[in-house]
């Protein structure tokens, strides 16, 4: 019976991993607020909260990304040396990313350097539309 797959469709609207979009989460225009907890993807556990006012992603209970307003994130990669993703929004959004280590980083949006900075997190804005984001660790600090 196909009935048991209907729940999977709902889950995949929040968070999914596919060969085409990689690790994907978020919604472009959610009708209601929702939350999924302890979803296992590639041996890690994720929580995702989605509403019209925010998207939050936690890995192993620690918040790693937050967007003010709804958005879809695709091809999300998160490691000590590099964080990258594509983001799709209908309006300008502020995004905050927490890093695994303190250091000197370079933020690129659509292959253009936006800033070089030091710290353990970064906040930045993206305009409406589809954008690629890359954050590179240039130098590790203790």
> CATH number for the domain including 55?
2.60.220
The first and second tokens of residue 67, run together, are 């967007």
pLDDT mean over 17-32: 89
pLDDT mean over 50-59: 96
Q: Could you give the CA distance from residue 131 to residue 141 in angstroms, rounded to a whole number? A: 29
Domain count, the chain: 1
**Contact of 67 with 97, CB cutoff 8 Å:** no
Domain housing 63: 3-140
Q: Is the sign of the CA dihedral 128, 129, 130, 131 positive or negative?
A: negative
Does the pTM surpass 0.75? The reply is yes
């Amino acid at each position: 019976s196909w009935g048991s797959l209907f729940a999977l469709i709902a889950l995949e609207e929040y968070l999914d991993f596919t060969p085409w979009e990689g690790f994907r989460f978020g919604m472009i225009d959610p009708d209601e607020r929702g939350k999924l907890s302890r979803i296992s993807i590639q041996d890690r556990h994720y929580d995702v909260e989605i509403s019209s006012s925010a998207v939050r992603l936690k890995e192993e209970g620690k918040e790693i990304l937050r967007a003010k307003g709804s958005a879809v994130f695709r091809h999300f990669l998160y490691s000590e040396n590099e964080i990258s993703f594509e983001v799709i929004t209908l309006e300008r959004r502020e995004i905050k990313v927490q890093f695994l280590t303190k250091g000197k980083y370079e933020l690129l949006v659509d292959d253009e350097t936006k800033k070089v900075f030091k710290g353990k997190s970064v906040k930045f804005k993206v305009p409406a539309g589809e954008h690629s984001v890359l954050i590179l660790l240039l130098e590790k600090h203790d």
